[in-house]
Every structure is written in structure tokens, then in C-alpha cells.
Amino acid sequence: MNVVALIPARGGSKRVPGKNVRTLGGHPMLAYTISAAVDSGIFDSIIVSTDSEEVAAVARHYGAEVPFLRPAALAGDTSPDIEWVEYTLEELRARARTWDCFSLLRPTSPFRTAETIRRAWARFTAQQGVDSLRAVEKCAQHPGKMWIVRGERMLPLLPFSLISPKPQSGEGGEQPWHSTPYQALPTVYVQNASLEIAWTRVVRERRTIAGDVLVPFLTEGYEGFDINDAYDWMVAERLIADGAVTLPDVRQAAIAAAKT
């Protein structure tokens, strides 16, 4: 099998301006994802998809390819992943470059390491009959305790119940999830942004990046920590300063970044 790493790093970001190339721990945040991908030894090619010449220059400095820029129409705040992934793979196919698998590695997860990627790849390749692998972690806030508000009323997001024995009779009685102790609720996992792996045929034949049969990859510690806003950035800096996490090694000399 041959596999390509696809790293999405568009130029626009409203909550943390320029976050993909903003300095974190001495390098632009994008550098850590590229370095982890290189050091994993998994990928035949590492390609950054961006609409920004500035981001492209940073990506190339740290060892990734940017064979073309992403069209602005595929780089909006609400642009779905399938659009830019499909575009990228088709453009590369037109250049006679194809792969069996691809992995999405988002630069907003800078604490994902080369070892994280190797563990995920080993899990994916050990499976049969799957379309993709996706990183997940246990929910901090259980969706069984969540509500939808409509006007002056609210409804449970998940209208499920547990069957539990009545104290005296032993017969089953229904207990709504929202009124059940957290410890008694089923374990629920939420996806994080650290990585995904899929067969390229899933994109080509089904026009999806996930398919129907997914294998979970449970991230550990801060591997799945995702930087989306100013608060997340502050937490990331504190974790680094306190020595709670270690960023992937970056061999290249630091390049000037957009924001410090």
C-alpha cells in the first residue's frame, strides 16, 4: 500500500487569526503536524492543502509539498472536507499521482506525535472490511444530558431511557437518560481532529471521507487536543510551559510566522 498525508491549512481563521502559521513553542503550529508526519515513516507523500501563499511557503519550509493552491470556493468557513479532499486527489490524479490510502492530519492538533500516527496506521491496517479509521475520545459532557430549546420549552437531545429494576419488585422501569447518573449511562465517544485514515476508493466511489464501516482509534492524553479558539490557544501555551505536554521535534530552523 502507498499512503499520502493530507494536511488542511487554509489561510482564513476568524477565532484565532492566522492560527495555522501562528508561533507556538518556537515554530508555526503547522510545523508540528508536518514534522510528526515525516517522522512517522508512514507516508509516501505529505501534501498541504491551502488557499494561502503565506501558508504554502511555511509548509514547504518544513518539508511538505504544496503542488497547487486550493480554490477560494473550497476554503470557506463552512466548506465540507469532502470538497477539498476530492479536489486535491483528482488534481493529483491528473498529474499521474495516486495512492491507496490517505490520512487527514489537521494542524490544529499539534500534540499528535509520530508515534500516534504509527499506532493509528497499525490499527487501520490490522482491520478487514473497513472504509476508514477516525480518532475519538470519551465525551467530557454526555449527550444524554443535553437539551434542545424551542421557544419556552425544551426537549432531550437523545430521548432514550434505561431499563432499571424497581427497588422492591425487581421489575424493569424506564429511567430517562437525562435523569440518570453519569456513571450509569452508556459510554459515548466524540471524534477529535487529530487524524483520520481512509481508502482513497471511498472518496472516488462514494464521495465521502468516512464510508460506512469505521474503526475507532482512541487517542491518549493530549494527542487529540484541538486548538479552535483563543481559550484553546491559551491552554496549549500553558500545557507547554508547565511541561505537561511535549511538542513533536522539528529539525528545520524556525521560520518567521504570521502571528506571535
Query: pLDDT value at position 170?
Result: 52
Q: Parse the chain into domains and list their residue ranges.
A: 3-136+190-241, 143-184
Architecture of domain 3-136+190-241: Alpha-Beta Complex (3.90)
pTM: 0.91
10-residue averages of pLDDT along the chain (260 residues):
95 81 95 98 98 95 97 88 96 97 97 98 97 96 95 93 62 79 90 96 95 97 94 96 96 72
- Report how far apart, in Å, the C-alpha atoms of 239 and of each of 105, 114, 221, 235 are: 21, 19, 12, 6
Alpha-carbon distance 137 to 217, whole Å? 8
Q: Which three cell numbers stand for residue 94?
A: 491528473
CA-nearest of 85, 94, 96 to 47 is 85
CA-nearest of 98, 92, 81 to 3 is 98
Query: pLDDT value at position 17?
Result: 81
Alpha helices in the chain (DSSP H): 29-40, 53-61, 81-94, 114-125, 200-206, 230-241
CB atoms within 10 A of CB 245: 18
CA-nearest of 46, 197, 223, 191 to 126 is 197
